[in-house]
Structure 1
């Protein structure tokens, strides 16, 4: 009986995971308004009614996808071994991580872009969006305070501003990559262009945080 209950629980978790992965791809590709539950069901090879059973409606499904996207990024950030670097270098490691995370997970910035167009209504529906992102704030606050003690980071930088700046430097480039490539007649998706932008990002942040 216990084995059957464990198997049933695992089956439910597997089905929900497949649905969430399919929904992430659909929402990232088409945005919230353009995404269709029928298409998500087809991608997940699941019954549409099962999606409604687990997630109630499209809004709650998108909320869950958004929550899982944030959680994945925050968990990977928390796993970084930043203590082995001086604080100023550790901050640049965060720049590096954030940039490469965006490159490896393009759906993440598309989901955030879609949610911003909706005035963050799904993020507001989370029980505790602040707690979900607390680790990111704690990491940067800790690095800033350590940098002040080590005298390698200026003392008047707020963790919120550092977080926003690190995110914005990469986010803007990638979300506008297609239009910027036309304007500047350069393929900004080429590896050399991506590497160059990472170098510029690090130089900008390094110059800003320098005492």
Structure 2
């Protein structure tokens, strides 16, 4: 029987999500749950049952998609690197002035590890296992190549403009940047206790500014010339002490 004039139309049937879309969403939930579980409990302490509970699925489904806990950890680790490399690309360092690009990169690196404690936890865990997952991951290495090329390009422009020293290895520079940022955040509890540092935003900001100054100071071609916008003041080298020449007495 047809509908009468003015009668509301029946609601359209809800479209069911396709199996492929459901699978992608489920895998994303599993990866996020695994990231939390591994960051909190490490590779050995993490439990597949706990990951399944967090993800709202059964353990068999995790094994179906990711085979094993070890393989799942490797993928979580790759996603960990992918997230920071994507954020670094979004800085668009090649479109910035060299000194501004380096300032931005150092500040970003410090902020990222400060705001993502799980990043530190996962990296620490991988190092405890000898870096075996990263060593077998072509993805992790491929993600780093564009970053190194970007840093190299910024350095070359800085050298051409006369504001950066020549001969800086981009890989060594990035390791230094990452180390300065990582060490303080990863060891903040012990550093706070040893040096009686209050856990305040002011202390964090001061450490961030110091990290930027250290890197920019290293890159300066002249150690007493400050870069534009740098709070580091020029320092006049102390005069060398004059040393009196010793006269050798003739041998008796």
Q: Shared fold (TM-score greater than 0.5)?
A: yes
Distance 2:56 2:187 in 1: 33
- Return the TM-score normalized by structure 2: 0.78
Partner of residue 17 from structure 1, selected from 7, 28, 31? 28
- Whether the aligned pair in 1 keeps the contact of 2:94 and 2:150 (CA below 8 Å) is no
Higher relative contact order (CA 8 A, sep 6+): 1
SS in 1 for 2:92: coil
- Please list the CA deviations of residues 134-171 of structure 1 after superposition, one character each: whole Å capped at 9, or x if unmatched: 12111111111111111111102100111101100011
Partner of residue 161 from structure 2, selected from 150, 153, 163? 150
SS in 2 for 1:180: helix
Which consecutive residues of structure 2, in runs of 5 or more, have no partner in the other structure? 1-14, 222-252
- How far has the Cα of 1:51 moved from its partner? 0.6
* Equivalent residue number for residue 180 of structure 1: 191
- How far has the Cα of 1:128 moved from its partner? 4.0
- Please list the CA deviations of residues 179-207 of structure 1 after superposition, one character each: whole Å capped at 9, or x if unmatched: 1111122234x211110100100110111
- Please list the CA deviations of residues 39-84 of structure 1 after superposition, one character each: whole Å capped at 9, or x if unmatched: 1111111111111111000110000000011111111111113244
CA-based RMSD = 1.5
Give the count of matched residue pairs: 207
Which consecutive residues of structure 1, in runs of 5 or more, have no partner in the other structure? none
Q: Which has the larger radius of gyration?
A: 2
Report the structure, 1 or 2, having the larger helix content. 1
Distance 1:122 1:83 in 2: 31
- Whether the aligned pair in 2 keeps the contact of 1:88 and 1:206 (CA below 8 Å) is yes
